[in-house]
Amino acid sequence: MTTRSTPPLDLPITGLAGLFATSGVLHLVRPQIFEPLIPSALPARTTVEVSGVAEIACAAGLLHPRTRGAAGLASAALLVGVLPGNVKMSVDAGKRARRKPGAKSAAFFAGTLARLPLQWPMIRTALRAGGR
């Protein structure tokens, strides 16, 4: 049986940890931003807070070699889990931009669209941190 070694802490993994830490704190400080992304069957505030704590835990775990592997896999799972919410954010922004045309709503919609393809390199980085 072969074991996978933990990759070194490099710029992409450090960057992913920074994004998770920033987003996690934002989830806790301004949860109302994220609540519209939560399916109505779930408690929105609690779900946002739990995901914020999970992001902060993943960020911390990615920074230490002993926890990087598990944190990398958890980070990949978290990124896959939030992808539908990011798609919903973009769809909702597109609807708002059509209802209320303007530079601000168009720019926000463009930003949500530009963000979606960035999920894939983040997932790849998380998997690499996890030794995959």
pTM (two decimals): 0.87
User: Does residue 38 lie within any of the structural domains?
Assistant: yes
Q: Do residues 86 and 112 touch, judged by C-beta distance below 8 A?
A: yes
Amino acid at 122: M
Q: What is the pLDDT of residue 6?
A: 83
10 Å Cβ neighbour count for 1?
2
Q: Which residues constitute the domain of residue 117?
A: 11-129
User: Does residue 5 lie within any of the structural domains?
Assistant: no
Q: Do residues 82 and 34 touch, judged by C-beta distance below 8 A?
A: no
User: Does residue 22 lie within any of the structural domains?
Assistant: yes
Per-residue pLDDT tens over the stretch 64-86 = 999 999 999 999 999 999 998 88
Q: What is the pLDDT of residue 3?
A: 52
User: Does residue 3 lie within any of the structural domains?
Assistant: no
Amino acid at 90: S
Number of domains in the chain: 1
User: Does residue 36 lie within any of the structural domains?
Assistant: yes
User: Does residue 6 lie within any of the structural domains?
Assistant: no
10 Å Cβ neighbour count for 130?
21
User: Does residue 1 lie within any of the structural domains?
Assistant: no
What backbone phi and psi angles, to 5 degrees, belong to 3? Answer: -110, 145
